Amino acid sequence: MAGLTSRTIAELRNGFRSGDFSAREIAEAFNAAVAGARALNAYTVETPEDALAAADTADNARQRDDLQPLSGIPLGIKDLFATAGVDTTAGSNILKGFKPPYESTVSGNLRRAGAGMLGKLNMDEFAMGSSNETSAYGPVISPWKRSDGGNAALTPGGSSGGSAAAVAAGITPGVTGTDTGGSIRQPAAFTGICGIKPTYGRCSRWGIVAFASSLDQAGPMARTVRDCAILLETMCGFDPKDSTSLDLPVPQWEAGLSSDLRGKRVGIPKEYRIDGVPEEINALWERGIEWLRDAGAEPVEISLPHTKYALPTYYIIAPAEASSNLARYDGVRYGLREVPDGGNLDAMYAATRAAGFGAEVKRRIMIGTYVLSAGFYDAYFNKAQRVRALIKRDFAQAFENCDIILTPTAPSAAFGLGEKMSDPLAMYLNDVFAVPASLAGLPAMSVPGGLDSLGLPLGLHLIGRELDEQGVLNAALAIEERAGFTAKPEKWW
Ligand code: GLN
Phi-psi category of residue 176: left, alpha or beta, with phi > 0 → left and psi -120 to 50 → alpha: beta
With beta carbons less than 8 A apart as the criterion, state whether 460 and 288 touch.
yes
Ligand 1 lined by 128 (C-beta under 6 Å): yes
Q: How far apart are CA 438 and CA 307, in angstroms?
A: 12
State which of 126, 128, 361, 430 you would mutate to test the pocket of ligand 1, scoring each by most atoms of that ligand within 8 A of its C-beta: 128
Max Cα–Cα distance, the chain, nearest Å: 72
Give pLDDT, residue 2: 61
For residue 351, the CA-to-ligand 1 centroid distance in Å is 26
Ligand 1 lined by 93 (C-beta under 6 Å): no
Q: How far apart are CA 294 and CA 296, in angstroms?
A: 5
Edge-to-edge strands of the sheet including 404-408?
43-46, 116-121, 74-78, 174-179, 217-222, 194-197, 444-451, 457-464, 404-408, 265-269, 298-302
Q: How far apart are CA 48 and CA 220, in angstroms?
A: 21
Residue nearest atom 10 of ligand 1, based on CA coordinates = 128
- What distance, in Å, lies between the first and last C-alpha atoms of the chain? 20
With beta carbons less than 8 A apart as the criterion, state whether 455 and 147 touch.
yes
Active site residues: 78, 159, 183
Element (H, E) at 435: helix 435-440
Ligand 1 lined by 254 (C-beta under 6 Å): no
Ligand 1 lined by 183 (C-beta under 6 Å): yes
Ligand 1 lined by 216 (C-beta under 6 Å): no
For residue 429, the CA-to-ligand 1 centroid distance in Å is 11
Q: Give me the amino acid identity at 437.
A: A
Burial 324-361 (b: 16+ CB within 10 A, else e): bbbeebbbeebbbbbeeeeeeeeebbebbbeebbbebb
For residue 212, the CA-to-ligand 1 centroid distance in Å is 10
Ligand 1 lined by 89 (C-beta under 6 Å): no
Burial class (CB in 10 A: 0-12, 13-18, 19+), 46: middle
pTM over 0.95: yes
Element (H, E) at 445: strand 444-451
For residue 178, the CA-to-ligand 1 centroid distance in Å is 9
Burial class (CB in 10 A: 0-12, 13-18, 19+), 279: exposed
Q: What are phi and psi of 383, to 5 degrees?
A: -65, -40
Give pLDDT, residue 430: 92
Beta-carbon contacts of residue 488 (< 8 Å; ≥ 6 apart): 6, 168, 170, 192
What does the CA dihedral 229, 230, 236, 237 come to, rounded to 10 degrees? Answer: 120
Give pLDDT, residue 1: 60
State which of 122, 155, 183 you would mutate to test the pocket of ligand 1, scoring each by most atoms of that ligand within 8 A of its C-beta: 183
- The DSSP symbol for 223 reads S
Give pLDDT, residue 334: 84
pLDDT tens string for the chain (493 positions)? 669 999 999 999 999 999 999 999 999 999 999 999 999 999 999 999 999 999 999 999 999 999 999 999 999 999 999 999 999 999 999 999 999 999 999 999 999 999 999 999 999 999 999 999 999 999 999 999 999 877 789 999 999 999 999 999 999 999 999 999 999 999 999 999 999 999 999 999 999 999 999 999 999 999 999 999 999 999 999 999 999 999 999 999 999 999 999 999 999 999 999 988 999 999 999 999 999 999 999 999 999 999 999 999 999 999 999 999 999 999 998 889 999 999 899 999 999 999 999 999 999 999 999 999 999 999 999 999 999 999 999 999 999 999 999 999 999 999 999 999 999 988 999 999 999 999 999 999 999 999 999 999 999 999 999 999 999 999 999 999 999 999 999 999 9
Ligand 1 lined by 427 (C-beta under 6 Å): no
Helices and strands counted in the chain (H then E): 15, 11
For residue 334, the CA-to-ligand 1 centroid distance in Å is 23
For residue 157, the CA-to-ligand 1 centroid distance in Å is 10
Ligand 1 lined by 159 (C-beta under 6 Å): yes
For ligand 1, what atom is nearest to the CA of residue 180?
8
